[in-house]
Amino acid sequence: MTSTPRPTERLVVLGAGVMGTGISTLALGHGVSVTLVDTDPDQLARAEHGIADGLRLAQLMGRLPADTEPGTLLTTGSAQHVAGASAVIEAVTEDAALKARLLAEVSAAVRPGTLLISNTSSIPIDELADAVARPADLLGTHFMNPPSLIRTVEVVRGARTGDAAMAAVDDLLGALGRERVVVRDSPGFVTSRILHPMINTAARVVQQGTASVEAVDALMQGCLGHPTGPLRTADLIGIDNLVDSLLVLLERTGDESCRPCDLLLDKVRAGTLGRKSGAGFYTYEEDMR
Ligand code: NAD
C-alpha cells in the first residue's frame, strides 16, 4: 500500500501570475519547497523577482516565521515535475476550459490521494471535478492577494470533495499559518459573489460620471470602512482577471449586476490591467508593483 504524502513535502503551483507568485512566496516563506510552472517564460522570470521581493517585504513586516529556513524554488515551463508533487495548486488564467484541461492532465499524473486545489475565483469546483480522475481529491481555496499578508483563506468544498482532501488542506493551511473558512460550492463562492459585482458597480458609478475614481474609493474607505476602496482593489486583483470572473458569474447565475461595465472592458482592451501592468484606475511606479 502506498502512503499518501504530507501536502507540504513539495508543492506544485501551476501559473506564475499574480496569485501563483503570491502563493509561492507564502509557501517558501514557511519552509515549503515549491515547483512553479508556467508556459510563459517571461512570467516565470517576473515571478522569480516578485517572490524575492515578496519574501523580503513579508519578512520586514513580520508576516513570516523568523526562524524558518525558506523552502527551495524550482521554476519550469513544463508540468513534468507534477508526478512527484505532494499537493498541487492550480492558479492559471480564469478560464474554465483551460483549468479543466490542466487539472485532467495533473490528476492523471499524480499519485492517488494527492491534494488537488484550484484557486479559481468563481468557477464551481464540482464543474472542474468532472475533468479529474478522482473528484474526491479536488477542492477550492481562494487565497486573496497578497497571500502572505492576508491570513484568512476561503476553502470551497465541492459536492464530491472527500474528507481526506479536507484534512489535507487543513494540514497545508496550518503549515502556512492561514486560517480557513469552509463554504459550499457555488459560482463565486462567498467572497467573489459579493465583491466582484460591487467593484463592477463602483466602476459603473465612475463611468456614469457620478464621481471620480478617487472619490469612490475615499467614500468606500472613509464612510464604509473598506480597507483600500473597490477600484484600488480592482487594480490589485488585475482588471482582466476581474472581467473573466464577472463573466463566469454572469454565465452561471444570470445576475445582470455581474455583466462587466464598459469602463472595465475598455481598460482590458487598452491593456491597463492594474498594478501588474503599471496602470489601471491608478498608475504605479515599477517598484510599487
Ligand atoms: P494572472 O493572469 O496574473 O496569471 C495567470 C498565469 O497563468 C499566467 O502567468 C499565464 O501565463 C499562466 N498560464 C496560462 N495557461 C497556463 C498553462 N497551461 N500552464 C501553466 N500556466 C499557464 O492571473 P492571477 O490573477 O494570478 O489569477 C490566477 C487564478 O487565481 C485565477 O483563477 C483567478 O481567478 C484566481 N484568483 C485571483 C486573485 C487576484 O487577486 N488576482 C485572487 C484570488 C483568486
SS3 state at 140: strand
- Output the pLDDT for position 1: 42
CA distances from 217 to 138, 156, 234, 280 (A): 37, 30, 11, 14
Strand partners, 149: none
Task: Record the cell numbers describing residue 115, joined without a space.
Answer: 491534494
Closest-CA residue, ligand 1 atom 25, reads 18
Q: Which portions of the chain are predicted below pLDDT 70?
A: 1-5, 287-289
Q: Among 30, 49, 81, 142, which one carries the catalytic annotation?
A: 142
In 274-289, which positions are buried (b, 16+ CB within 10 angstroms) versus exposed (e)? bbbbeebbbeeeeeee
Each residue's pLDDT tens digit, 217-267: 999 999 999 999 999 999 999 999 999 999 999 999 999 999 999 999 999
Is 141 within 8 Å of 110 (Cβ atoms)? no
Residues contacting 81, CB < 8 A, separation 6+: 12, 35, 37, 74
Is 38 within 8 Å of 16 (Cβ atoms)? yes
Instruction: Quote the CA–CA distance of 18 and 80 in Å, as a whole number.
Output: 22
Closest-CA residue, ligand 1 atom 17, reads 39
CATH number belonging to domain 191-280: 1.10.1040.10
Same fold, 11-184 and 191-280: no
Q: 12: CA distance to ligand 1 center in Å?
A: 14
Closest-CA residue, ligand 1 atom 3, reads 17
- Output the pLDDT for position 5: 64
Domain ranges of the chain: 11-184, 191-280
Q: 210: CA distance to ligand 1 center in Å?
A: 33
Instruction: Quote the CA–CA distance of 268 and 196 in Å, as a whole number.
Output: 16
Peptide bond before residue 146 is cis, with ω within 30 degrees of 0: yes
Nearest of 148, 6, 196 to residue 86 by alpha carbon? 6
- Output the pLDDT for position 288: 58
Is 202 within 8 Å of 214 (Cβ atoms)? no
- Output the pLDDT for position 4: 62
Is 19 within 8 Å of 184 (Cβ atoms)? no
Instruction: Quote the CA–CA distance of 216 and 201 in Å, as a whole number.
Output: 11
Closest-CA residue, ligand 1 atom 39, reads 237
Q: Residue written as cell 482588471?
A: 239
Number of neighbours of residue 208 by Cβ within 10 angstroms: 10
Each residue's pLDDT tens digit, 93-106: 999 999 999 999 99
* DSSP secondary structure code for residue 33 in this structure: -
CATH number belonging to domain 11-184: 3.40.50.720
Q: 92: CA distance to ligand 1 center in Å?
A: 3
SS3 state at 88: strand
- Ligand 1 atom nearest residue 22's Cα: 26
Q: Which residues line ligand 1 (CB under 6 A)?
A: 14-20, 37-40, 43, 91-94, 98, 102, 119-121, 142-145, 237-238, 241, 245
Nearest of 156, 141, 116 to residue 11 by alpha carbon? 116
Q: 139: CA distance to ligand 1 center in Å?
A: 17
Residues contacting 271, CB < 8 A, separation 6+: 277
Strand partners, 152: 179
The length of the chain, given as a count of residues: 289
- 142 counts as catalytic: yes
Nearest of 82, 159, 89 to residue 125 by alpha carbon? 159
